[in-house]
């Protein structure tokens, strides 16, 4: 079984040469029909990973990788012209602010029709019929009327549904969802997540979810990769990540997502500053905020060297922490 999406050794640098990389040797695979979630706090590089896949990095960003491929397509070495045929048709994207992702001067119908006419070469009337179909498919009531609406007349939930219709118009193999529900309220959030999960099942596509909210993605994702300061620190099935997180950062994230009050009634927070971790040139990036490091007397090791992702226990579960590795060795 070949993977639908493969990233290996993705490194992205921004700013003057020598500054710490935004992404540091990120490797990730998404299997056919699988939903993988990329979780991390702001600035951990999860959106950058998504944009690298689309090859839509901001100007000035330098990207290196061993391989980025989509099935049998080499995304890393595709020309800009080839990329235009890959985007929308093989790999699509959902964004955070659905209302700002719609052109204010064009009707919803006209915009959903664009990928149909451009990528699939449908005629005007064919495209129109398909637009109504697509809009109905994503659960928009009165699609005929909605097709004549402009972005500012839509609610956030409807706008994200329209974006989903647009993203799915080209029947992509992979859907990248970059915090698709962050701008929406909680009731709509669940609907959108269910919609994406349903579409995944129906169209047999894979999805890469990017989110800062472990709670949100855990309801839809098959596997979760946790990012911290530009690298993946833990990867595993959703169940394993939630029930037996290995990396201290993942543990803290899971604890945060539980929303269980501490003894004093406050909610759990991870102390320290995530952005400071970027400047750390050697050793584990998380060590300044890590509680395990000092507790297990691993300071020296954590400071001198960062571990590779190492398997821990069950298959497909790996973590980047000395404590986990030491415990495994001891057994």
Partner 1 sequence: MSRVDNPAVDNPAVDNTASGALDGVLDPAPSPGAPRIRGLRRLRAWPWSLRVGLFGVLAVVLVLLATPWSAPFDPALQDLSNRLAPPSGAHWLGTDQLGRDVMSRLMWGGRFSVTIAAITLTISAVFGTLLGIVCARSKGVLDEFVMRVSDVLLAFPEMIVAMFLVSILGAGYGTLILALAVAGWTPFARLARALTLEINSRDFIEAAESLGFSRTFIILRHLLPNAFSPLLAHASVRFGHTLITVGALSFLGLGVAPPDSDWGSMLADGLPYMSRAAGLVIYPGLAIFLTALAVTLTGRGINVRPGRQGRG
Binding site for partner 1 (CB under 8 A): 54, 56, 83-89, 92-93, 95, 97, 99-107, 114-115, 118-119, 136-142, 145, 148-155, 157-158, 161, 163, 166-167, 170, 187-188, 190-191, 193-195, 197-198, 200-201, 215-216, 218-220, 238, 242, 257-259
* In the complex, minimum distance from the CB of residue 7 to partner 1, in angstroms, rounded to a whole number: 17
CB 293 within 8 A of CB 284: yes
Please provide residue 26's backbone torsions phi and psi, each rounded to the nearest 5 degrees: -85, 130
β-pairing verdict for 73-74 and 67-70: antiparallel
- Whichever of 28 and 86 has its CB closer to partner 1, that residue is 86
Please provide residue 108's backbone torsions phi and psi, each rounded to the nearest 5 degrees: -55, -45
Nearest by Cα to 209 from 84, 67, 46, 13: 46
* In the complex, minimum distance from the CB of residue 180 to partner 1, in angstroms, rounded to a whole number: 12
Q: From its phi and psi, is residue 127 left (phi > 0), alpha (psi between -120 and 50) or beta?
A: alpha
Helix or strand holding residue 300 (H, E):
helix 299-304
* In the complex, minimum distance from the CB of residue 166 to partner 1, in angstroms, rounded to a whole number: 7
Nearest by Cα to 223 from 8, 39, 10: 39
- Whichever of 154 and 323 has its CB closer to partner 1, that residue is 154
* In the complex, minimum distance from the CB of residue 263 to partner 1, in angstroms, rounded to a whole number: 19
- Whichever of 256 and 280 has its CB closer to partner 1, that residue is 256
* In the complex, minimum distance from the CB of residue 205 to partner 1, in angstroms, rounded to a whole number: 13
Q: What is the spatial distance between Cα 40 and Cα 270, in angstroms, rounded to a whole number? A: 13
- Whichever of 102 and 229 has its CB closer to partner 1, that residue is 102
- Whichever of 145 and 275 has its CB closer to partner 1, that residue is 145
Q: From its phi and psi, is residue 179 left (phi > 0), alpha (psi between -120 and 50) or beta?
A: left
Strands (E), 117-269: 174-178, 206-211, 223-228, 231-237
- Whichever of 168 and 323 has its CB closer to partner 1, that residue is 168
Cα distance from N-terminal residue to C-terminal residue, the chain:
33
* In the complex, minimum distance from the CB of residue 34 to partner 1, in angstroms, rounded to a whole number: 13
Q: What is the spatial distance between Cα 162 and Cα 95, in angstroms, rounded to a whole number? A: 12
* In the complex, minimum distance from the CB of residue 88 to partner 1, in angstroms, rounded to a whole number: 4
- Whichever of 29 and 92 has its CB closer to partner 1, that residue is 92
CB 122 within 8 A of CB 130: yes
């Amino acid at each position: 079984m070949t993977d639908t999406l493969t990233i290996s050794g993705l490194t992205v640098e921004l700013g003057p040469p020598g500054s710490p990389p935004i992404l540091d040797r990120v490797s990730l695979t998404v299997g056919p029909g699988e939903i993988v979630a990329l979780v991390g706090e702001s600035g951990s590089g999860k959106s950058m990973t998504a944009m690298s896949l689309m090859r839509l990095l901001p100007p000035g960003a330098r990207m290196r990788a061993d391989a980025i491929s989509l099935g049998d397509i080499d995304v890393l070495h595709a020309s800009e012209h080839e990329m235009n045929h890959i985007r929308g048709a093989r790999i699509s994207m959902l964004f955070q602010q659905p209302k700002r992702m719609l052109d204010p001067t064009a009707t919803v119908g006209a915009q959903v029709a664009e990928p149909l006419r451009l990528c699939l070469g449908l005629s005007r009337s064919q495209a129109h019929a398909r637009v109504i179909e697509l809009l109905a498919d994503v659960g928009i009531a009165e699609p005929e009327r909605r097709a004549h609406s402009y972005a500012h007349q839509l609610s956030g939930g409807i706008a994200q549904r329209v974006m989903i219709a647009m993203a799915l118009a080209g029947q992509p193999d992979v859907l990248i969802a970059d915090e698709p529900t962050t701008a929406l309220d909680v009731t709509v959030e669940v609907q959108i997540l269910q919609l994406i999960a349903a579409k995944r099942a129906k169209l047999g596509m894979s999805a890469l979810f990017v989110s800062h909210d472990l709670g949100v993605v855990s309801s839809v994702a098959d596997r979760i990769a946790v990012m911290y300061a530009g690298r993946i620190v833990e990867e595993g099935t959703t169940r394993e990540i939630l029930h037996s997180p290995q990396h201290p950062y993942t543990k803290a994230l899971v604890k945060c997502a539980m929303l269980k009050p501490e003894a004093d009634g406050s909610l759990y927070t991870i102390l320290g500053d995530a952005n400071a971790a970027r400047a750390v040139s050697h050793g584990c990036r998380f060590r300044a905020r890590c509680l395990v490091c000092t507790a297990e007397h691993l300071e020296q090791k954590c400071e001198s060297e960062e571990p590779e992702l190492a398997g821990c226990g069950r298959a497909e579960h790996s973590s980047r922490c000395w404590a986990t590795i030491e415990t495994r060795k001891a057994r």
